[in-house]
Structure 1
Amino acid sequence: MPTEGNPGVLFVCVKNGGKSQMAAGLFEKELVEAGKPDAVRVASAGTRAGQSINALSAEVLAEIGVDISANSPIQLTEDAMRTAGHVVVLGAEAQVPHVEGVTVERWETDEPSLRGIEGRQRMEIIRDDIRTRVRELASRLGS
């Protein structure tokens, strides 16, 4: 189990049903593969949490060994931001409050639908974009 002294990261999007859940699952996978599963506390939340996980997000993650299917969206709180200390906002829509002492970075993730790419192919491109960013963040926070 991670301890309170470990760094934390909180991934945030609007509904916490897709991108932020994908990022958290992929981040946890990176930590496990690096042999440091407890090096960073990982969570996700939504600014207007939805009701369920995006099924296509869960499906394309399952293909690479990440299971988010049993997760549930969680509403963002300032306490969660403080606990994590490091917040990653995915996409342009989600807006988070300023919380003293919390580092916030925004990932403008690829949006294939702007190029007419939809469905499964869209979600695979999003997954791969987030995975690349997660690897870089894991190396920064987990080392």
Structure 2
Amino acid sequence: MSQPTEDDAVTVAFVCVQNAGRSQMATAFAERERVRRGLEDRVHVISGGTEPADRVHDVVVEVMSEIGISLEDERPEAITHDETTDADIVVTMGCSAENVCPMTWRGDARDWALEDPHGRSLEVVREIRDGIEENVSELFDELTETLTERSE
């Protein structure tokens, strides 16, 4: 088996409107999966919003802290057109379904059609969180398989 190179790396972008909830959770779970699977050099994760909020939603910080992931120091960021066009996989969190995501990209685009956690109850946000965690795990199953095949 050959050693992986930077050319084998995959960039995944998690995009939503405010980058204050869904994409923040997805990014945190993706960063955790990168480490768990030993893919730090093979999977790059970026995240941003088309209209970033001032801060991560309090309810999102709370439900993530319940499972040991701190988002207290995270800040919503803007994502650029170049970042999305350069990504191998762009995952929107439901904004394409709402027709409010002005981003365009080439390559593998996926929309997870998730409910916005802003203003929702803790119970609903926990369900959104758990759905995101499952989606990220499935995405990393796929990435692990793809990257393993590239290395052979």
Instruction: Give the TM-score normalised by structure 2.
Output: 0.78
**2:112 counterpart (93, 107, 114):** 107
Which is worse superposed, 32-41 or 48-57?
A: 32-41
Once the two structures are superposed, what CA deviation does each residue of 1:98-135 show, in whole Å capped at 9, x if it has no partner? 33x3321101125799xxxx421111011001111111
Two-structure CA RMSD over aligned residues (Å): 2.4
Shift of 1:4: 6.8
Q: Distance in 2 between matches of 1:82 and 1:141?
A: 19
1:53–1:4 Cα change, 3 Å = farther
1:66–1:37 Cα change, 3 Å = farther
Answer yes or no: is the 8 Å Cα contact 2:14–2:90 preserved in 1: yes
Alignment identity in percent?
33
**1:63 counterpart (58, 63, 66):** 66
The yes-or-no answer on 1:98 pairing with 2:104 is yes
| AA in 2 matched with 1:104 | A
Question: Structure 2 regions of 5+ residues with no counterpart?
Answer: 1-5, 146-152
Aligned twin of 1:139: 141
Larger-Rg structure = 2
1:46-85 correspondence to structure 2 within 5 Å: 46-85=49-88
The yes-or-no answer on 1:24 pairing with 2:30 is no
The yes-or-no answer on 1:7 pairing with 2:6 is no
1:129–1:47 Cα change, 3 Å = same
3-state SS of paired residue (1:125):
helix
Q: Distance in 1 between matches of 2:132 and 2:108?
A: 19
3-state SS of paired residue (2:82):
helix
Shift of 1:5: 4.8
